[in-house]
Chain A
Amino acid sequence: MSEPILQLSNLVTEFDTDEGRVRAVDDVSFSVNAGETLGIVGESGCGKSVTAQSIMRLLPQPMGQIVSGEIRFNGQNLAALTLEQMRAIRGAEIGMVFQEPMTALNPVHTIGRQLAEVLLLHKKISKQDALRQSMVMLDRVGIPAPDIRMGEYPHQLSGGMRQRVVIAMALACGPKLLIADEPTTALDVTIQAQILELIRELQNDMGMAVMLITHDLGVIAETSQQVVVMYAGKVAEKGTVYDIFDHPTHPYTQGLLSSIPRLNTVPKSRLAIIPGMVPGLRDLPAGCRFANRCRHCLDSCTLASPAEEQVSAGHSVSCYRWRDLPPLTEVPA
């Protein structure tokens, strides 16, 4: 099960803005194993969504560009494909689910038509077969009365139901990889639980890999085997879910894990904080990007960006000082 299906090496993605070029993703490398879930966690502006858009080749045009690096999927480099070739992969071999299902659905087409369109585009089947398969797919993602829903429009469905439709569309062609960008962030917790359970079930049945992007550490802990922590366009730390939650090594990962209120923290006690805020992409520091918020920062940290260092097999961190840091349990709250 540990064969990588997707491998990013040194991906660099830049945007042209009114105030010049900014680097949103800087030298990002990680791999997603077949059948596994990789969670990417980070705060707004850390580059997690741009990474997903780069893989899908859906960067806003003409501003966004992959400048260098490779995106290996199934033996081919997605970064080098023409848009025509990419269109054949998108939706067929890689499915996508985004945060806001309403923006992913066309408001003037029925659910059935939108679902069948995916199948007609990627498979050589008749329209009737496409409609029949769409109905099976709606049933599969737990939508009651799929025959009636087929003729309805997106606005007639609730948020949770819409996200199920988007998942049905993403999975209609049996992709090998599902990229889900904050799929449950717009949903209530009880609906989030339904959707995460659904993704897990479908993943087991279809054996696909999932790349799940979220800011919610709870969702990561419950769904992912591998975790990538991103900060200001770079990978701060990556490893198995146990590496990240049991032995967080980067000061940013440690800060994140200790600043979230948990059900067993003493009410009204002071939460640990990460002082300051994320640097803007326009004025990134020369050295470690976390330096200005890091309690362990030395002058040497601000000179050059730290390289990835191996903590243990499969667990790596980009920090000069990780060997000197106390483990998280000893960090005073």
Chain B
Amino acid sequence: MSRDAQTPILKVRDLKMHFPVKEGVFMRTGKFNKAVDGVSFEIAPGETLGLVGESGCGKSTLGRCITRLYQPTSGEILFQGHDISTLSRKKLMPFRRDIQMIFQDPMESLNSRHTVGDIIEEPLIVQGVGNSAERKRRVLALLDLVGLPARSVTRYPFEFSGGQRQRIGIARSIALNPKLIVCDEPVSALDVSIQSQILNLLIDLQQELKLSYLFIAHDLAVVKHISDRIAIMYLGKIVETGAGENIYHNPNHPYTQSLISAIPVPDPHHQSQRIILSGDVPSPIDPPSGCSFHTRCPRATDLCREQAPVLKVHGAGAAQTTAACHHI
């Protein structure tokens, strides 16, 4: 991917999303849940950025900030050069065509009282696209594109299996010809044999429609398969980014190393050199001082406890990644 030649479709700068935590009898806001705490990255046209992290690391919150389901606390979200981070609902409307989202649970994200036809047509109506007949034709074309029969139009979501429902969600998300789709765990609720069908579909659609993806997931093998580059998140911060192959075969950050080593390999001959982390992810309400990973890091020193590391380029060639650690 010749990323340097193109201007990024999405550029996120120092994005923060702090949720107020209400506590006590008077529900005063004393503390903040720093779900996303200073994140910067770029996505090039046609590129997939995989975003990986454990539950509570802020990856879904980040996705929801970019689609502006949340109003971020601070930072910039530049979509094709326009900062959409503070736009009003009205001013956001044209951008909503270009940025769409696919959710994890297709049953919860599809209105169970609407037919599949209504569900897929809705974004077209909201954005005032075409007349009724044109929209109906578009719905049929979309169903065909995601591999569902035309007769699905009059059916309801419950009549479909999990994999088919996810296809409906995908059809809805591409209805307006978006440029960027935020995929939040799109295959993690699906069975193994259905997962590969949906992954193939997402890859085909990307090539056909020149889509960019922000692909959020906790399954590292899935993310590596679909992504050009990968960002690893821990406690609201990106700790390492790089090309997928580099992140997987030559990770530099100790968290990435332990995360990769923890993936069970479907090969009984594989001898795993597992780095087992002790303890749990700390709370984002009271993140540790300095490097937020120091409480679980096998290499932590006093420096890590006091000073937060910044993202820097480490390694060369196949081992080159950008990581935030004092000890690489």
A residues at B contact (CB < 8 Å): 43-44, 158-161, 188-194, 196-197, 215-222, 241-242, 245-246, 255-257, 259-263, 265, 267-275, 277-278
Cα A257 to Cα B192 with chains together (Å): 9
CB of B276 within 8 A of CB of A197, answer yes
On chain A, the residues within 8 Å of B227 by CB distance are 267
CB of B228 within 8 A of CB of A267, answer yes
Q: List 28 A-B contacts (CB under 8 A).
A: A43-B191, A43-B192, A43-B193, A160-B280, A188-B55, A188-B218, A190-B276, A193-B261, A193-B277, A197-B274, A215-B191, A215-B192, A221-B265, A222-B272, A241-B268, A242-B268, A242-B269, A245-B268, A256-B192, A259-B195, A260-B195, A260-B266, A262-B265, A263-B220, A267-B226, A267-B228, A271-B196, A275-B197
Q: A217-B266, A256-B193 are in contact. Are A189 and B224 (CB under 8 A)?
A: no
Beyond A158-B280, A256-B193, A277-B164, 6 additional contacts (C-beta under 8 Å) are A190-B259, A221-B266, A255-B193, A270-B203, A271-B196, A275-B197
On chain A, the residues within 8 Å of B225 by CB distance are 261, 265, 267-269, 271
User: At the interface, yes or no: B270 with Cβ under 8 Å from chain A?
Assistant: yes
On chain B, the residues within 8 Å of A217 by CB distance are 192, 266
On chain A, the residues within 8 Å of B54 by CB distance are 188-191
Q: A43-B191, A188-B218, A221-B270 are in contact. Are A261 and B196 (CB under 8 A)?
A: yes
Query: Distance (Å) between the CB of B90 and the closest chain A CB?
Result: 38
Query: Distance (Å) between the CB of B122 and the closest chain A CB?
Result: 26
Cα A160 to Cα B276 with chains together (Å): 13
Q: A188-B218, A267-B225 are in contact. Are A44 and B263 (CB under 8 A)?
A: no
User: At the interface, yes or no: B145 with Cβ under 8 Å from chain A?
Assistant: no
Checking B200, B244, B266 against A262 with a beta-carbon cut-off of 8 angstroms, the contacting residue is B266
Checking A188, A259, A267 against B193 with a beta-carbon cut-off of 8 angstroms, the contacting residue is A259
On chain B, the residues within 8 Å of A273 by CB distance are 193, 196-197, 200
Beta-carbon contacts under 8 Å, B269-284 to A: 269-270, 272, 274, 276-278, 280-281
On chain B, the residues within 8 Å of A270 by CB distance are 200, 203
CB of A257 within 8 A of CB of B266, answer yes
Q: Inter-chain contact count A-B, CB under 8 Å? A: 130
Q: Determine the residue in chain B with the shortest Cβ distance to A197.
A: B276
User: At the interface, yes or no: B23 with Cβ under 8 Å from chain A?
Assistant: no
User: At the interface, yes or no: B20 with Cβ under 8 Å from chain A?
Assistant: no
Instruction: Give the most central of A190, A191, A215, A260: most B CB within 10 Å.
Output: A190
On chain B, the residues within 8 Å of A262 by CB distance are 221, 265-266
On chain B, the residues within 8 Å of A255 by CB distance are 193
CB of B280 within 8 A of CB of A267, answer no
User: At the interface, yes or no: B9 with Cβ under 8 Å from chain A?
Assistant: no
User: At the interface, yes or no: B302 with Cβ under 8 Å from chain A?
Assistant: no
CB of A261 within 8 A of CB of B55, answer no
On chain A, the residues within 8 Å of B224 by CB distance are 261, 263, 267
Q: A190-B262, A218-B266, A245-B268 are in contact. Are A259 and B192 (CB under 8 A)?
A: yes
User: At the interface, yes or no: B163 with Cβ under 8 Å from chain A?
Assistant: yes
CB of B258 within 8 A of CB of A259, answer no
Cα A192 to Cα B280 with chains together (Å): 11
On chain A, the residues within 8 Å of B203 by CB distance are 268, 270
CB of B196 within 8 A of CB of A259, answer yes
Checking A158, A190, A261 against B258 with a beta-carbon cut-off of 8 angstroms, the contacting residue is A190
Query: Distance (Å) between the CB of B302 and the closest chain A CB?
Result: 23
Query: Distance (Å) between the CB of B267 and the closest chain A CB?
Result: 6
CB of B265 within 8 A of CB of A222, answer yes
Cα A270 to Cα B191 with chains together (Å): 17
On chain A, the residues within 8 Å of B221 by CB distance are 260-263
User: At the interface, yes or no: B222 with Cβ under 8 Å from chain A?
Assistant: yes
On chain B, the residues within 8 Å of A194 by CB distance are 276-278
Cα A272 to Cα B195 with chains together (Å): 10
Q: Determine the residue in chain A with the shortest Cβ distance to B52.
A: A189
Nearest first, the 3 A-B pairs at minimum CB distance are A218-B264, A261-B225, A188-B54
Cα A274 to Cα B221 with chains together (Å): 19
Cα A43 to Cα B228 with chains together (Å): 29
Q: Determine the residue in chain B with the shortest Cβ distance to A214.
A: B264
User: At the interface, yes or no: B310 with Cβ under 8 Å from chain A?
Assistant: no
CB of A44 within 8 A of CB of B266, answer no
Query: Distance (Å) between the CB of A319 and the closest chain B CB?
Result: 17
CB of A218 within 8 A of CB of B265, answer yes
